[in-house]
Amino acid sequence: MNVLELEEKKLNKFQLGFKSKNPNTIIPSNLGAKWSESEENILLSELHDDIDIETIANNHNRTKGSIISRQKEIAYKLFNKNIHITDIVNKTKLDEFTIHEFIEKKRNNTSTKKSIKENKIEEEKFLIENEIIYIKKDIANLKNMVSEILELMKAVYDFEDT
């Protein structure tokens, strides 16, 4: 195994995907890494200071796309905390349209996930109800079999007594 293969084994799935699409580009070390609260605060501070996205991406060892994505996530969090849209625009440096568009996307995604989850629960309930029906039928059959065995045993005892 050569050095490049060893290095590729250390990459996470985001970095591998990035490398396959950008083979001649240096992979940002934080690509795909979870954002900490302090890193988000630094991002907000950099946005407040009007630092351009490319510089911010380099500062955080992330892609420009991940910076923009985090801006949107922060905007969504602020929206859910009932922060006024003007304040969200000022903090995230996103325009209102982008913020509203992302909020709708998140809402639709959440409601889709919720309905999928509800459907799975209904399917599981249906499967469980069917299983209960089969178990009840099995119990009824077992009762009949036990009754037949008891009758046979009684017949055997009666036969032995004669």
User: Which residues constitute the domain of residue 8?
Assistant: 1-33
pLDDT in tens, 11-34: 777 778 777 787 888 888 888 889
In percent, the amount of the chain with pLDDT more than 70 equals 90
Using left for φ > 0, alpha for ψ between -120 and 50, and beta otherwise, residue 148 falls in alpha
68, 93 in Cβ contact below 8 A? no
Q: How far is CA 56 from CA 72, 102, 149, in A?
A: 15, 21, 81
- Asked whether residue 140 is domain-assigned, the answer is no
The amino acid sitting at 161 is D
Mean pLDDT across the stretch 39-49? 96
String of DSSP letters for 80-91: HTT--HHHHHHH
How are the residues of the chain apportioned to helix, strand and coil, as percentages rounded to the nearest 5?
A: 80, 0, 20
- Asked whether residue 86 is domain-assigned, the answer is no
pLDDT at 113 over 80: no
- Asked whether residue 82 is domain-assigned, the answer is no
pLDDT at residue number 19: 78
pLDDT at 117 over 60: yes
- Asked whether residue 103 is domain-assigned, the answer is no
pLDDT in tens, 52-102: 999 999 999 999 999 999 999 999 999 999 999 999 999 999 999 999 999
Distance CA 30, CA 62 (A): 5
32, 12 in Cβ contact below 8 A? yes
87, 109 in Cβ contact below 8 A? no
- Asked whether residue 29 is domain-assigned, the answer is yes
- Asked whether residue 1 is domain-assigned, the answer is yes
Q: What does the mean pLDDT of the chain come to?
A: 85
- Asked whether residue 20 is domain-assigned, the answer is yes
73, 41 in Cβ contact below 8 A? no
Which one of 81-90, 120-129, 131-140 scores highest in mean pLDDT? Answer: 81-90
Q: How far is CA 73 from CA 12, 13, 35, 94, 121, in A?
A: 22, 21, 11, 11, 29
Distance CA 68, CA 76 (A): 13
**Total structural domains in the chain?**
1
29 closest CA partner among 53, 75, 60, 66:
60
pLDDT band at 4 (very low <50, low <70, confident <90, very high): very low
pLDDT at residue number 2: 39
pLDDT at residue number 8: 52
- Asked whether residue 27 is domain-assigned, the answer is yes
pLDDT at residue number 130: 79
